[in-house]
Amino acid sequence: MILLNGKKTAADIKEEITLEVRELKDNGHKTPHLAAIIVGNNGASITYVNAKVKACERVGFESTLIRLTEKVTEDDLLNEIAILNIDNDIDGFIVQLPLPKHIDEQKVLMAVNPDKDVDGFHPTNVGKMALNLPTFISATPFGILELLDRYNVETSGKHVVVLGRSHIVGSPMSILLSQKRKVGNATVTMCHSRTKNLKELTLQADIIIAAIGIPEFLKADMVKNNVTVIDVGITRLPDSSKKSGFRLVGDVAFEEVSKKSEFITPVPGGVGPMTIAMLLKNTLLASKRNF
């Protein structure tokens, strides 16, 4: 069993970006600049955005954090987006999700300039991704592709089963892995809550991508030997033995499934760190477009 170490791989990518940023500056180009808008006081969102700001500092990016209250109006949020859209100093920006219920998330994502949409959520970028055109690939799918690539996991001709059909992970992964690309050329089955005979499908899979948000859903009796497992889920479960009072688990019952796996991602330390690294990579790409 080989652990797909996202923490180490993300650190390698950040080091590569750091060197590239240094070279850009030496050649007289501007410093890449990532902005983030966060609305309200969602603990997980604040932690995640702070990690993004810290990552920017590490690689030599400029970063701007715009914090808005939970009660901000949709119009005021759209106004902040409009300002970032025309600010030539900002190469890319994100609007941290989830947003409060009184704000239309789709309307907000549509308002972001596709050329600055480093999250890759705008329909223009999703469409380009589906057509295999150069674009921003959303950070989590991008990170999964990069992990598979750097560990030389063969995908061509393999049967991939994707658990989950979200617009952020499941749906784009099913498209990307079926495309004619280096990490692709797979036959993909996308499963969801209405899928029948799920176990029959997962037992056929050479590669499983679990992104359904149900802790330890994928068990050892659902996978064949030498499977590759990418665990995208992350859930806090109460655990009095931990100082924090909880432990983090994925969608995969790691202890039992890892015994049958050829490759597997841990939780934490697998896909999670890759997401931030690839957001930085998208920002660097956005910066280069402005030369």
- Beta-strand relationship, 235-238 and 246-249: antiparallel
Does the annotation mark 119 as catalytic?
A: yes
Q: How far apart are CA 210 and CA 4, in angstroms?
A: 15
Contact (Cβ atoms closer than 8 angstroms) between residue 216 and residue 253? yes
Buried residues in 119-131 as b, exposed as e (16+ CB within 10 A):
bbbbebbbebbee
Q: Which of 91, 117, 119, 251 is catalytic?
A: 119
Question: Is 251 among the catalytic positions?
Answer: no
Count of alpha carbons within 13 angstroms of residue 118, beta-carbon side: 31
Q: How many CA atoms lie within 13 A of 79 on its CB side?
A: 6
Structure tokens at 175: 């498209």
Mark whether 96 is an active-site residue. yes
* Catalytic residue of the set 14, 96, 231, 251: 96
45, two tokens = 């969102």
CB proximity list for 106: less than 8 A, separation 6 or greater: none
In degrees, rounded to 5, the angle at the alpha carbon of residue 209 between the alpha carbons of residues 206 and 211 is 160
Residues with Cβ within 8 Å of residue 256, at least 6 apart in sequence = 219, 220
Q: Which residues are catalytic?
A: 52, 96, 119
